[in-house]
Amino acid sequence: MKNLNLIFLVTLLLGFSASAQDTREIRVHDPVVAKEGDTYYLFNTGRGIGVYTSKDLQNWERGEAVFSEKPEWTDSVVADFRNHIWAPDIIKKGDTWYLYYSVSSFAKNTSAIGVATNKTLDPESEDYEWVDHGIVVRSVPDRDMWNAIDPNIIYDDNGTPWMSFGSFWNGLKMVKLNDSLTGIAKPEEWRTIARRERSFELDNKDPGDAALEAPFIFKKGDWYYQFLSWDLCCRGENSTYKVVVGRSKNATGPYVDKSGKPLNEGGGTLILQGNENWYGAGHNSVYSFDGKDYMFFHAYDANDDGAPKLGIKEIEWVNGWPTVQPMN
């Protein structure tokens, strides 16, 4: 691997123990990352929420899942839920880590976002224990025109916590959280932060054809940047996922793209997309580590039967806008 502008080829060898794996070969969807001490912790979609660790962002070792058994409440949202948990987000407040996660049925808005907490990410610590706090927000078919998946938490300049989330339907949403970060603040405050037009009238039974999901908001200087994924994930060579971005002076928006078009009106400046070697690059997260800004994402390897693999690219900023090197 020449540098972090090259996608890291990482494939998970299912069924092997961490010690038996080639730690450079992991398979992931929807990666998010936190750093504690000298170790990076990557959380991703998978059974019980997958976990990987690294000292250098290049070599990764598989750890134990967050949940060895599904949270008790999940069957009340998805019947006979099989502990395949989607799209986590990880933040730290004070001395506590908060891990948000999604429970859903594919292509339905039968969904909920939950949260668990821990004092440390180090499984060797005596303080290591994930404590689940249940549902933060839930979407219900025939009631809600939004989908409660793909959470991301951001604090605004006043120290107020907001959760952005969503997939398809009537766009991406943002809601104010309470001080405990385990529920919606009262009185409720909601925003729509991104939306695309559809070719037909939307109803509760169909997510629509204006695909967008997975908002991730990152503060850089005076601007909040909303990264989001357009088009279709999880279809191997038929995946059309891509990452677009807009920015705002306020965490709650309105966000506009480089041309000035609001994200609420279908705007979005393209920053990353796949090619003939890598299908459907998307569902990203963005962080500053050791003075550099990085984008984490997944893409499907055309040379490995469309396996989903981890991508990491260093972000460069040009005239106030993020850029990354194209896929190789």
pLDDT of residue 297: 97
Domain assignment of residue 114, yes or no: yes
Domain assignment of residue 14, yes or no: no
Q: What is the pLDDT of residues 53-110, one digit of tens each?
A: 999 999 999 999 999 999 999 999 998 899 999 999 999 999 999 999 999 988 788 9
Residue of 127, 131, 228 whose CA lies nearest to 182:
131
User: 10-residue block means of pLDDT along the chain (328 residues)?
Assistant: 40 33 68 98 97 96 96 93 95 98 89 98 98 97 91 97 94 97 96 82 55 97 97 89 97 98 96 95 97 96 92 97 95
Domain assignment of residue 87, yes or no: yes
Strand partners, 137: 113
239 in Cβ contact with 248 (< 8 Å): no
Domain assignment of residue 279, yes or no: no
Q: Identify the DSSP state of 177.
A: B
Output 158-164 pairs: Cβ under 8 A, ≥24 positions apart: 160/251, 162/251, 162/252, 163/100, 163/113, 163/136, 163/137, 164/193, 164/215, 164/216, 164/217, 164/226
Where in the sequence is the domain holding 55, given as residue range(s)? 28-217+224-230+243-270+312-323
Residue 76 has φ and ψ, to the nearest 5°, of -75, -15
pLDDT of residue 198: 64
Number of domains in the chain: 1
Residue 181 Cα to chain centre, angstroms: 18
296 in Cβ contact with 310 (< 8 Å): yes
Which domain CATH number covers 60?
Answer: 2.115.10.20
pLDDT of residue 22: 37
Amino acid at 289: F
pLDDT of residue 24: 44
Give catalytic residues, as residue numbers: 30, 213
Domain assignment of residue 280, yes or no: no
pTM: 0.90
pLDDT of residue 20: 30
Residue of 283, 278, 272, 267 whose CA lies nearest to 314:
272
